[in-house]
């Protein structure tokens, strides 16, 4: 599953990415719920509501958007809780569901915290609480025809990377132990073009770490790789890691 929301930060800056993420969530929810969904202007105080579905003075489904792309630590938890408490204090009797839209997928510890907090709040306030994480949002954007509108450059970047890496991946797949200097130069060209690219940084891909280690071993054992079992085995392992990581990068 591709999770493109972190790329918003590289394109718009953190403040701009936060606004863009909320705008994406707004359009998605408006398409899903059509004319029953509305936003609340934050300048006058949004009451803990970014988006709501229903009648503001009647039954409400509430959506809160948080552009959190790294860990969910005490600071992020406090912001989630503060937004929740604010809307409960103002609209608690009207809320039917409360949704958190967040730009990341939770890790194990974060899910444990969320499940415990969610259960306690649902018991206290008698309405459902839902998590729309990065994977769910990405799936919903694709299902509703919005993904390419916001991330067409992200998609084209993947296609460009796939084309650039095609020769390298083919060579690695077909020649498990023999590589000439021209091929090593080709790997340098790929590294120079892509290593600092936001697409690679965004995905936290280790592919160039694997490629650099691969190149060092092959260059050090130039012409002798077949005779060095330890080096040959390490190169074989690195080739598999590089190919696997490449597949992750271009996966839909």
Structure tokens that stand for 161 in this block = 């990377």
Distance from C-alpha of 47 to C-alpha of 38, rounded to nearest angstrom:
14
CB 62 within 8 A of CB 95: yes
Residue count of the chain: 252
HEC profile for 70-132? Answer: CCCCHHHHHHHHHHHHHHHHHHCCCEEEEEEEECCCCCHHHHHHHHHHHHHHHHHHCCEEEEE
Would you state the pLDDT for residue 44?
Answer: 45
Distance from C-alpha of 26 to C-alpha of 176, rounded to nearest angstrom:
50
Would you state the pLDDT for residue 31?
Answer: 95
Distance from C-alpha of 153 to C-alpha of 202, rounded to nearest angstrom:
14
Would you state the pLDDT for residue 103?
Answer: 97
Tell me which H or E stretch contains 181: helix 181-194
pLDDT in tens, 168-182: 999 998 876 567 788
pLDDT tens per residue across all 252 residues of the chain: 456 898 888 778 889 999 999 999 999 999 999 878 888 876 444 566 889 999 888 999 999 999 999 999 999 999 999 999 999 999 989 999 999 999 999 999 999 999 999 999 999 999 999 999 999 999 999 999 999 888 877 778 888 999 999 999 999 988 765 677 888 899 999 999 999 887 787 677 899 999 999 999 888 887 676 678 888 889 899 999 999 999 988 875
Query: What's the pTM?
Result: 0.68
First to last CA, the chain: 7
Would you state the pLDDT for residue 241?
Answer: 96
Q: Give the residue carrying structure tokens 């701009």.
A: 16
CB 147 within 8 A of CB 34: no
């Amino acid at each position: 599953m591709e999770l493109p929301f972190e790329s918003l930060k590289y394109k718009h800056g953190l403040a701009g990415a936060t606004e863009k993420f909320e705008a994406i969530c707004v359009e998605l929810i408006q398409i899903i719920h059509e004319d029953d969904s509305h936003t609340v202007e934050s300048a006058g105080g949004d009451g803990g509501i970014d988006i709501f579905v229903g009648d503001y003075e009647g039954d409400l489904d509430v959506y809160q958007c948080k552009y959190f792309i790294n860990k969910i630590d005490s600071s992020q938890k406090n912001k989630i809780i503060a937004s929740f408490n604010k809307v409960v204090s103002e609209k608690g009797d009207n809320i039917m569901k409360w949704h958190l839209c967040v730009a990341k997928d939770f890790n194990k510890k974060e899910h444990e915290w969320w499940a415990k907090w969610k259960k306690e709040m649902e018991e206290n306030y008698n309405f459902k609480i839902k998590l729309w994480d990065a994977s769910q949002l990405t799936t919903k954007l694709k299902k509703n025809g919005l993904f390419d509108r916001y991330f067409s450059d992200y998609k084209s970047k993947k296609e460009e990377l796939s084309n650039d890496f095609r020769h390298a991946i083919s060579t690695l797949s077909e020649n498990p132990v023999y590589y000439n200097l021209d091929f090593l130069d080709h790997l340098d060209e790929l590294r120079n073009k892509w290593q600092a690219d936001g697409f690679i940084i965004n995905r936290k891909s280790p592919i160039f770490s694997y490629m650099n280690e691969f190149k060092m071993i092959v260059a050090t054992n130039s012409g002798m790789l077949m005779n060095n079992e330890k080096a040959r085995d390490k190169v074989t392992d690195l080739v598999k890691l590089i190919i696997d990581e490449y597949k992750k990068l271009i996966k839909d």
